[in-house]
Amino acid sequence: MKLNIALLAGDGIGPEVIDQAVKVSNAVAQKFDHEISWTPALTGAAAIDAVGEPYPDETHEVCANADAVLFGAIGHPRFDNDPSAKVRPEQGLLKMRQKLGLFANVRPTFTFPSLIDKSPLKRERIEGTDLIILRELTGGVYFGERGRKDDGDTAFDTMTYQRFEVERLARKGFEMALKRGKKLCCVDKANVLEASRLWRETVQALEKEYPEVEVSYEFVDAVAMRLIQWPKGYDVIITANLFGDILTDEASVISGSMGLMPSSSVGSEVSLYEPIHGSYPQAAGKDIANPLATVLSAAMMFEDLDLAKEAKAIRDVVNKSLAEGVVTEDLADGGKAYKTSEVGDWLAANI
């Protein structure tokens, strides 16, 4: 199979972790007789520096015409500490999600057998966790009306949802649940927010179309607690953009490291694959970041391209590296810490 993949390395550790995912993907391509052509394109602070905006039209063209997009990370501290900055790298990510119509962000949470004891959570609570947080990605407070009142001292961001936005996400959630544990939990704040009440109403209306799926409704504050107390109680969670952003960072603790969690963002056209972690600027250029979240995102990409054996080969080699202690410093735990590039080389060689 010939694959044309857009490669958006972005900022911070993005380029380093992307390099490893490319090495591993190329090794998989070689083993299974595929041909991948990678088309790099600019995004984030790197794109602001080069052309003045974080998601240039040329980058959009490259993504829109690709079979899939593999994405590293964006963000740069020079913008974080400047609230008055007019152009920010993160705007590129949001614009990209919106222009590519990536309304559903699939963030799986699972445990790795060899890492269970590295989690700050007790083994008996987390062993066997297998859940998916399906985060709405192109609506809500991230995209609602925002601004300052004339006095300059009042700011607002609005959480706006339209019924069709909730419905298309919820349908994906139901479909996923059908193929898994047949449980769907709608996570919202319907005791306070009108937008959340629209979510409940919309999901309730869909229940009868999916009689096999057991549906529950929980408030996000309570889920923040239950998720790390009884993660095994969840199968598929659907939730709004901001709630999903927060809960998925929290859920990464179950796996042992934020550096491990992959994601896919899907819509009706091309899909995008990215680690859930950010650009980790403190580590940029040091060859110490954990590349596994990006490598596992590439596995999700192969899976979605109907290349299940290829995806499995990646997951297997990742498990092997963890079991044999070929890990970066975040997981080294007093043992040898491998460099980002060494982990990538090892994975590629062992595919």
Active-site residue (options: 80, 82, 117, 221): 221
Question: Smallest gap, in angstroms, from Cβ of residue 293 to ligand IPM?
Answer: 11
Would you count residue 245 as binding ligand IPM (CB under 6 A)? yes
Question: Smallest gap, in angstroms, from Cβ of residue 205 to ligand IPM?
Answer: 28
**C-beta of residue 60 within 8 angstroms of C-beta of residue 77:** no
Question: Smallest gap, in angstroms, from Cβ of residue 278 to ligand IPM?
Answer: 6
**C-beta of residue 60 within 8 angstroms of C-beta of residue 331:** no
Would you count residue 136 as binding ligand IPM (CB under 6 A)? no
**C-beta of residue 22 within 8 angstroms of C-beta of residue 15:** no
218 forms bridges with which residues in the sheet? 187
Judged by beta carbon distances under 5 to 8 A according to partner kind, the member of ligand IPM, Mn ion, none in contact with residue 347 is: none
**Chain CA centroid to CA 318, Å:** 18
Name the amino acid, one letter, at 273.
Y
Q: Looking up tokens 């898994």, which residue turns up?
A: 180
Q: Residue 170 in 3-state DSSP?
A: helix
Which lies closer to ligand IPM via its Cβ, residue 259 or residue 278?
Answer: 278
Q: What is the 8-class DSSP label of residue 140?
A: G
The token pair that represents 205 in the structure block: 């209306």
Q: 282-287 — which CB contacts under 8 Å span 24+ positions?
A: 283/12, 283/13, 284/11, 284/12, 284/13, 284/16, 285/16, 287/16, 287/339, 287/340, 287/341
Which lies closer to Mn ion via its Cβ, residue 15 or residue 278?
Answer: 278
Judged by beta carbon distances under 5 to 8 A according to partner kind, the member of ligand IPM, Mn ion, none in contact with residue 75 is: ligand IPM
Name the amino acid, one letter, at 227.
L
Question: Smallest gap, in angstroms, from Cβ of residue 241 to ligand IPM?
Answer: 7
Active-site residue (options: 189, 232, 320, 339): 189
Euclidean distance between CA atoms 301 and 318, whole angstroms? 15
Strands 262-266 and 104-110: antiparallel
Active-site residue (options: 67, 249, 304, 345): 249
Which lies closer to ligand IPM via its Cβ, residue 72 or residue 278?
Answer: 278
Contact map string, positions 266 to 285, toward ligand IPM, x by CB under 6 A: ----------x-x-------
Nearest residue to Mn ion on Cβ basis: 245
- Determine whether 249 is an active site residue: yes
- Determine whether 221 is an active site residue: yes
Tally DSSP H helices, then E strands, for the chain: 14, 12
Ramachandran sector of residue 113 (left: φ over 0; alpha: ψ -120 to 50; beta: rest): alpha
Question: Smallest gap, in angstroms, from Cβ of residue 106 to ligand IPM?
Answer: 12
Active-site residue (options: 11, 19, 142, 280): 142
Which lies closer to ligand IPM via its Cβ, residue 53 or residue 214?
Answer: 53
Site for ligand IPM in 83-112 (CB under 6 A): 90, 93
Count of residues touching ligand IPM (by CB under 6 A): 6
Which lies closer to ligand IPM via its Cβ, residue 256 or residue 278?
Answer: 278
CA-CA-CA-CA torsion sign (15, 16, 18, 23): positive
Q: Residue 268 in 3-state DSSP?
A: coil
Active-site residue (options: 11, 19, 245, 330): 245
- Determine whether 245 is an active site residue: yes
Would you count residue 75 as binding ligand IPM (CB under 6 A)? yes
Which lies closer to Mn ion via its Cβ, residue 228 or residue 326?
Answer: 228
- Hey, which residues are catalytic here? 142, 189, 221, 245, 249
User: What is the binding site for ligand IPM (CB under 6 A)?
Assistant: 75, 90, 93, 245, 276, 278
